[in-house]
Structure 1
Amino acid sequence: MSGLTCSDGSAAAGEQLAGSAPEAVAWVALEQNGPWGAKAFTDSHLDPDLGRRVEAAAAAFGVRPSLVRRPGRHADAAARAGGRLGPGADPRHVLVAYTHPTGPWLLEGTLDDPARLLDLDWEALAVGDAEAVRRSLPVLARTDRPQLLVCTNGTRDVCCATKGRPVALGAAAAHPGQVWEVTHTSGHRFAPTTVLLPAGTLHGRLDVAAACEVLQAAERGETVLPGSRGRSTWAGPAQVAELAVRDVAGVLGLDALRVVTHDATGERRWSTLVAHDDGRTWRVETESRDAEVERAESCGKALKPLTYFTHLVETSLVRR
């Protein structure tokens, strides 16, 4: 399997998708055209000092920051002008999403200066206070249109470019204004990978039709189970628990389930209580194990044993 790309090797190994989403209760995506380096916030045409400050502010409150651009040609106006653009001459779109299923929301707007992103109330974002976030950055307004981010950063991993870009282009043609290329979602080996905002659900190994279905389902208030990596709101084992409940109970409602408690019960073992908004609950016991099969986490890296989760679901413990 060593001659395969990381995504082909992962698929050939049958690596589990569930539980592989990065953990974040909120996402901020800033438009940045032009080329991206492997660490795009400090290795692109964005001012690197600004990039470091945005990353630090986001990390302090558990927010996931990303750079995005529209699929297709993405000329960088600032680079063409040698960085000598005046205020308002290089507008940047920004997406700000809170993912918790009890009240997810998405704000969007246009910044006349990317440095204005530092005015964002990151603490309010982390607790889901949309009005406080809007007061801190008044250009933001609520939107009900879900947005799909497709990882295409080939300088971080070639699979993201070769497999992600065709999906981004195809999905954008079918859903204009709702699809972006994004710098990083984690999990190169699951390429093509996507993030749906505001839900914060991630999917992997998608083609164009599957990516479009993620958006179409979101517009119906539903999620798509095939290819789901989990909801970033929760830790990895809790993502597995939520998806296990969806599979057992046939729950597709995007925001119908929430993780009530999630506790470690031993080395690489967890107990998670998942609740439905109709009052049903499930207790899920989850364990992480290493398989004998090896795969690379990213192209060019050494092979490592893949990790997978097992789970046991006890259904309908409580009816409120």
Structure 2
Amino acid sequence: MSTCASVSRDLDEPISGTAATAKTWLLLEQPGPWGAHALTSSHLDPALGRAVERAAKGTGVRIALIRRPGRHADCGTPSVRRVYASHTAPGNVWLHSAEVRDPRRLLDLDFAALGAGDHDSFGSALDGRPHTGDPLALVCTNGKRDRCCALLGRPLAAELSASGVDGVWEVTHLGGHRFSPTLLVLPYGYAYGRVGAHAVKEILHSVQDGRIVVEGCRGGSAWERPGQAAELAVRTAAGEYAADALSVVRMDGAAPRWEVTVAHVDGRHWRVAVAQSASLPPRAESCGTSVLGSPARMDVVAVRELAPSTALAS
């Protein structure tokens, strides 16, 4: 059976520069079934879902629902829900958690402050605290958005949970279901595609050491997609895998070509040329549609380390 994921894999579609963009992630636990647009088609009050979406619009905060791996019967309303917020910009990476009995408390959040990386706003509104456990491994499993997420994501989440990996949650939507199974790791916000359980365990071990695995990485959600591709290319070229070492500090140009400046905490800079093109041949980008499309791809054309004087001038 051909699926959007199998076609993408067979065509060897590049994966770099395809991650969802979000400076801050806000995650609300919601057990039970999810619809295609889970914030308004689950057991969460749809009016609340719409209100939270409106509050987050334009703030840099991306909202998703999460649930524990396993069967998802119509189990009613939980008495207590876990909430996570995570900011992913290097130099201010954090992951906080809270428990709420009434999810309407999310409307007490200052979404603009959250998007800007102010963790105090989360703690003061929800009595949240820094998350001291393992990193979060969020596996997209929402088959109502695309069957590949259910067919490939749910078995991965179940296998990780059964093997004792802590911090595993199912999540409603990470984008790019043709790269299923897809994964987001917090607090650093790097997304992965076409991953198996062994690879996820390696990724999580690296995150615990403050390091990033580049293989299978779609990009860091803190950056726009050209920046994601550029940052990963610099990591590979420089052999730099420390999570907080690199930042995208400038993007010049517009589609279909950008010049991206990537900075190292030690003062080094790189200029990266990134070109956007269409993935060919045309194919259905989702199992939910028969319309053929040519998804955009980000190709790194050149990576050049800048001399110190040039870097200061840029």
Q: TM-score, normalised by structure 2?
A: 0.93
How far the C-alpha of 1:175 sits from its partner, in A, is: 4.4
Distance 1:198 1:232 in 2: 11
**Secondary structure at the counterpart of residue 151 of structure 2:** helix
2:194 pairs with one of 173, 184, 205: 205
2:146 corresponds in structure 1 to: 157
Q: Which residue is equivalent to 2:284?
A: 296
Q: Deviations over 1:42-96 (max 9, x none)?
A: 00111000111111112231211000000013455535xxxxxxxxx61000110
Unpaired runs of 5+ residues, structure 2, are none
CA–CA separation in structure 1 for the residues paired with 2:235 and 2:292: 32
CA distance in 1, matches of 2:307, 2:148: 43
Contact 2:225-2:298 at 8 Å conserved across structures? no
> Structure 2 counterpart of 1:271, which letter?
E
In the alignment, what sits opposite 2:303? 313
Q: 1:45 aligns to what SS in structure 2?
A: coil
Q: Report the more deviating stretch, 186-195 or 51-60.
A: 51-60
How far off is 1:127 after superposition?
1.0
Alignment pair present for 1:63 and 2:61: yes
- Match of 2:48? 50
Q: Equivalents in 2 of 1:270, 1:163: separation in Å? A: 34
Q: Match for 1:195: what amino acid? A: L
- DSSP 3-state at the match of 1:60: coil
For 2:41, give the aligned amino acid.
Answer: D
- Which residue pairs with 2:185 in the alignment? 196
The count of corresponding residues between Structure 1 and Structure 2 is 307
Matches of 1:280 and 1:58, distance apart in 2: 35
Matched, 1:29 2:27: yes
For residues 104-149 of structure 1, the C-alpha deviation after alignment (integer angstroms, 9 at most, x for no partner) is 00001110111111111211111111123211221x1101431010
- Residue 268 (str. 1) matches residue 266 (str. 2): no
SS of alignment partner, residue 289 of structure 1:
strand
> For the Cα contact (< 8 Å) 2:24–2:86, is it kept in 1?
yes
Contact 2:281 / 2:294 at 8 angstroms: preserved in 1?
A: yes
Q: Distance in 2 between matches of 1:290 and 1:45?
A: 39
2:303 maps to amino acid = V
Could you say what secondary structure the match of 1:293 adopts?
coil
The answer to whether the 8 Å contact 1:167/1:211 transfers is no
* In structure 2, C-alpha distance between the alignment counterparts of 1:130 and 1:306, rounded to whole Å: 36
Displacement after TM superposition at 1:310 (Å): 2.3
Name the SS of the counterpart of 1:292 in structure 2: coil
Q: Compared with structure 1, are the counterparts of its residues 47 and 305 closer, same or farther at alpha carbon in structure 2 (3 Å cutoff)? A: same
* Structure 2 contact 98–126 (Cα < 8 Å) conserved: no
Q: Which runs of 5+ in 1 are unaligned?
A: 80-88
Matched, 1:244 2:242: no
Distance across 1 between alignment mates of 2:70 and 2:47 = 27
TM-score (norm 1): 0.91
